[in-house]
Amino acid sequence: MPLIERYLFRQMLTPTLLAAAALGAVGLLSQSLGQLDIIIEQRQTAWVFLKVIVLAMPQLLNLILPIAIFVAALTALNRLQAEHELVVCYAAGVSRWRVIAPGMKLAVMATLLALVINLWVQPASYRAMREIFFAAKTDLAATLVREGEFTEPAQGLTVYGQTVDSDGLIHNLFIHHRNAKGGATTYTARQGRITYREGAPVLVMHNGSNQEFSRNGVLNYLSFEEYALDLAPFLKSSQTITYKASDRYLHELLFPDLTRAYERKDQGKLRAEGHARLSSPLYNIAFMAMALAAVLGSSFSRLGYGRRIAVVSAAAAMVRIIGFAVQSGSEDSPWLNVAQYLTPILATAWALSQLFRTVERRSGWREWLPFAPTRPKGVAT
């Protein structure tokens, strides 16, 4: 890469990384607020919460990368144009293509990165996150006691704890268990704590008693200083993990197993997601081309490019909204999947046409209209 192209590439790469980091931080904050219930309701650890946030980042990165490229390219190009560095490039004989090539190379690199994320990283991370949610949902040991409430975490099991300390110590514990043979056992304890012994969850109770009614009506009473109740029999669950469209790999989306009820019912949604995985990286190229067109697609202006940037920014937002709408419509109308590719491709074609068109001097608001009529030759202004 020639020296001037390396310089222009660096001028756009740094703002892209900064914009991606800033947008990623905002997205991370929104993700963390949305996933707080895994700690509050499911009583999971902060480490589990952190893993969920990190696993959600690949899809978030794929969404913010085109925006980061667009913002960074506008910032860098507007500064280079305002400081006349691009004018110097043109005066030195640098062609327009050599000026826009670094930006397009950066966009292609972002496109390849987004494609790798869509095809391999996102499905793997979302599967891991789905398994964490499933484990938290079915983790009876973590949701056994809700402070000040009678709960039934499993069939035939009623649990009450007056208070639960931050370290997991339960005070004034009450447990009533009805077994399948018709008997019932009641446990009361001053304190209790859920722990693990040999990998199995147990509830260790202190200073309590055990009352058991047999089938013939005989009451057995036993007081204890410490008693360990095995929770493993209550942890058996018939639920299974169902991977959603965001959790599946490309071949599972485009060629669903129609023998399964879920995939047969939502095959349109699965295929729409598959085509979105392939087409969404193209928005990196489209947004870079539109940013280049906003600054370089018309004649030099001493007054700046605020109007052009505003128009192209609105057009870029509209293009992405149309892309989301087309993806949603493709779930019910499979023929719309073609439009998922056409939307970024047509946006790129329009932007490139603005970059390489013949620019004629216009005045006022007509200086940069995409399809404004050109002035006939020989006609005075």
Residues 261 and 124 in one domain: yes
Structural element, H or E, at residue 134: helix 122-137
Q: Are both 197 and 216 inside the same structural domain?
A: yes
- The answer to whether residues 340 and 264 belong to one domain is yes
What's the average model confidence in pLDDT over 184-196?
Answer: 89
Residues 9 and 132 in one domain: yes
Examine the domain organization and report whether 214 and 70 are in the same domain.
no
Whether 175 and 213 map to the same domain: the answer is yes
349 with 207, same domain: the answer is no
**Would residue 80 count as lying in a domain?**
yes
C-beta of residue 153 within 8 angstroms of C-beta of residue 179: no
Q: What's the CA gap between 55 and 86, in Å, rounded? A: 41
Residue 9 reports pLDDT greater than 80: yes
* Residue 374 maps to a domain: no
Tell me the mean pLDDT in the region 129-147.
74
pTM of the model: 0.79
Q: In terms of domains, do 111 and 188 share one?
A: no
**Residue 381: per-residue pLDDT:** 40
Q: Do the domain assignments include residue 380?
A: no
Domain-embedded: residue 373: no
Shared domain check, 120 and 59: yes
Considering the chain, what is the average pLDDT of its residues? 84
Is residue 355 in a domain?
yes
Q: Looking at the predicted structure, is the pLDDT value of residue 361 above 70? A: no
Higher local confidence (pLDDT), 94 or 240: 94
Domain limit, last residue, from 217, 234, 251: 234
pLDDT digits (tens, 9 = 90+) for 163-175: 888 777 889 999 9
List for the chain the helix, strand, coil content (%; round to 5).
60, 15, 25
pLDDT above 90 coverage of the chain, percent: 47
Number of domains present in the structure of the chain: 2
- Encode pLDDT of 105-116 as tens digits: 999 999 999 999
Helices H, strands E: what count in the chain?
14, 6
**Last residue of one domain, picked from the residues 234, 269, 287:** 234
Q: Is residue 378 part of a domain?
A: no
> Are residues 131 and 200 both part of a single domain?
no
User: Do 348 and 289 share a domain, yes or no?
Assistant: yes
Q: H-helix or E-strand containing 91?
A: helix 85-91
Question: Containing domain of residue 148, as a range?
Answer: 144-234
- Digit-coded pLDDT (tens) for 37-93: 666 566 667 787 888 888 989 989 999 999 999 999 999 998 898 888 888 888 888
Q: Strand pairing partners for 223?
A: 209
β-pairing, 150-154 with 157-164? antiparallel
Structural domain includes residue 163: yes
Of the three residues 203, 234, 265, the one that is the final residue of a domain is 234
Q: What is the mean pLDDT of residues 117-136?
A: 89
Question: Is 60 domain-assigned?
Answer: yes
301 pLDDT higher than 50: yes
Write down the pLDDT at residue 380. Answer: 42
Does residue 235 register a pLDDT over 70? no
Whether residue 148 sits in one domain with residue 118: no
Question: Does residue 379 have a pLDDT over 50?
Answer: no
Least confident among 41-45, 231-235, 295-299: 41-45
